[in-house]
Amino acid sequence: MPKLDVRGTWVQTERAAHEAWSALIGRKPKAAQLMHLLVANMGKDGAVVVSQTTLASLMDVSLNTVKRSLAVLSEECWIDVVRVGSERGGVNAYVVNRRVAWADKRENQRYAAFDARILVSEAEQDAPIADERPHLRQLPSLSPGDIQLPHGDGLPPPSQKPLVDADLPSLPREEQLDWVDAEG
């Protein structure tokens, strides 16, 4: 299983949940394994978005085993399954029951909205995730102390008008030095 870099490395559980989880291991070991996987990968709001194929790969089991395990976890209220998108072509978010495990302050658990951690597998992509894809376009950003200097004519129409007027007012050299000395 790949090691995922996550922000926050702890989760909390109730003792009663541990006892129930122990019983689940005896009755439905693959469902219990899947529950551990979901808890280990959930975001602070208790949710993870991941395909069943990726779950099967992470667990080294068949897709049918994952489907049966998800049904057990859902029926026994270990997780809630939330569809994201249409039934065909959508994906599911798996939300861990907050009475079982949580990774945020207890008082933050009363909200219905959630963010989710999203896991994807390279095997499910149209093109490899690695360096073989072209680099994404990046917008320049200013670092502390940098100043913006407009350059170039911009994109051809129908692009938006420049956000910064290319004809910026300037200060004579002496005024610039006085301004820097006043701030420094």
The CATH number assigned to the domain holding 68 equals 1.10.10.10
- Cα–Cα distance for residue pair 157/139, rounded to 1 Å: 20
What pLDDT score does 6 carry? 47
Angle at the Cα of 156 from the Cα atoms of 150 and 158, rounded to 5 degrees: 110
28 in a structural domain: yes
Contact 58, 110 (CB under 8 A): no
30 in a structural domain: yes
Query: How far lies 88's CA from each of 21, 68, 92, in Å?
Result: 32, 19, 11
49 in a structural domain: yes
Domain count along the chain: 1
As given in the structure block, the two tokens for residue 20 are 């129930």
* One pLDDT digit (tens) per residue for the chain, 184 residues: 455 544 566 788 888 988 999 999 999 999 999 999 999 888 877 888 888 999 999 999 999 999 999 999 999 999 988 887 766 767 888 988 888 887 776 565 554 455 667 777 777 766 666 556 666 666 666 777 777 776 677 666 665 555 555 565 555 656 555 555 555 5
